[in-house]
Amino acid sequence: MELEALRSIYEGDESFRELSPVSFQYRIGENGDPKAFLIEISWTETYPQTPPILSMNAFFNNTISSAVKQSILAKLQEAVEANLGTAMTYTLFEYAKDNKEQFMENHNPINSATSISNIISIETPNTAPSSKKKDKKEQLSKAQKRKLADKTDHKGELPRGWNWVDVVKHLSKTGSKDDE
């Protein structure tokens, strides 16, 4: 029943996303808003008698410090306990929307771009030698590629027996030496 209600309430709402019939995401705030965050609610098998699983581990929340995330989850957990035994997904999403400013009052955006670039710059020396090996790969001309394509079938495999002539020549040379 709650699933159908959520689908009809949030139909056409770009902030709402149904990940599975028991897991939902809702973006609190507009897309460009630095104080926007994403909440994920997953129902357990015994929901609503037992609390749903709340998460803020989405990539969207990477600029939010873990302390702010924990604070938001703690406040949502209080709302969960107050609504235990009733369908509460809609209530939790609306509670988060109504209290967005209070939730994000201590939020100072973490510049994830600098941390990513630091990671990349740290890893660059390790990846440099392997990229040089790739650069040394032999480049084939168009004629060489065409010749190779003509030799192989559609799977890129050589036809059966393509090297038999070489084998026969080799055996005939080695066989003649044994006779001498």
Average pLDDT along the chain: 76
- Number of CB atoms found within 10 A of residue 72's CB: 24
pLDDT at res. 130:
46
Q: Is the pTM of this model over 0.85?
A: no
42 sits in which H/E element = strand 37-42
Q: Bigger pLDDT: 42 or 130?
A: 42
Over residues 88-102, the pLDDT tens digits come to 888 888 888 888 888
Which of 4-13, 87-96, 134-143 is the least confident region? 134-143
Residue 25's DSSP bridge partners are 17, 40
Sign of the four-CA dihedral 136, 142, 144, 148: positive
Q: Could you give all domains of the chain from N- to C-terminal order, each with its CATH number?
A: 1-104 (3.10.110.10)
Over residues 37-85, the pLDDT tens digits come to 888 989 888 887 888 888 888 888 788 888 888 888 888 888 888 888 8
